[in-house]
Amino acid sequence: MAKSATLSIRIEPQIKSQAEKLFSKLGISTSEAMSLFLHQCVNDNALPFTPHVGHARIPNAETVAAMEEGEYILKEIKAGKREADFKTAAEFFKSLEI
């Protein structure tokens, strides 16, 4: 089907610029990205993500610190500067049992 409809939206310039950079990295235009979004909405009969209020999914400072610590430990293990506390995932999960 030939494309003949036009969609015009207003968005903050900074968000538009960031989105265009992302889409460029993905090898698609903003128009193609919006078309994908609309097609997915129609296919799912819903939004292709779960809207939520606030920043509930953004990790808090404690979670960020734990993730950074984990990354640091992993780098040390890979560099041979530290031994892993567990040899297998099964050992790790067993240690969590109370």
Residue 90 belongs to a domain: yes
Q: How far apart are CA 58 and CA 64, in angstroms?
A: 9
Q: Which two tokens stand for residue 5?
A: 């409809």
Residue found under tokens 């969590």: 96
Count structural domains, the chain. Answer: 2
Residue 68 belongs to a domain: yes
What tens digit of pLDDT does each residue of 14-40 get?
Answer: 999 999 999 999 999 999 999 999 999
**Amino acid identity, residue 2?**
A
Residue 7 belongs to a domain: no
40 and 67 share one domain: no
What tens digit of pLDDT does each residue of 31-90 get?
Answer: 999 999 999 999 999 999 887 766 666 778 888 899 999 999 999 999 999 988 888 889
Residue 49 belongs to a domain: no
Residue 3 belongs to a domain: no
Domain ranges, residue 23: 13-44
Residue 8 belongs to a domain: no
pTM of the full structure: 0.51
Q: Do residues 33 and 24 make contact, with C-beta atoms less than 8 angstroms apart?
A: no
40 and 65 share one domain: no
Q: Which two tokens stand for residue 98?
A: 């109370």
Residue 4 belongs to a domain: no
**Amino acid identity, residue 16?**
K
Residue 77 belongs to a domain: yes
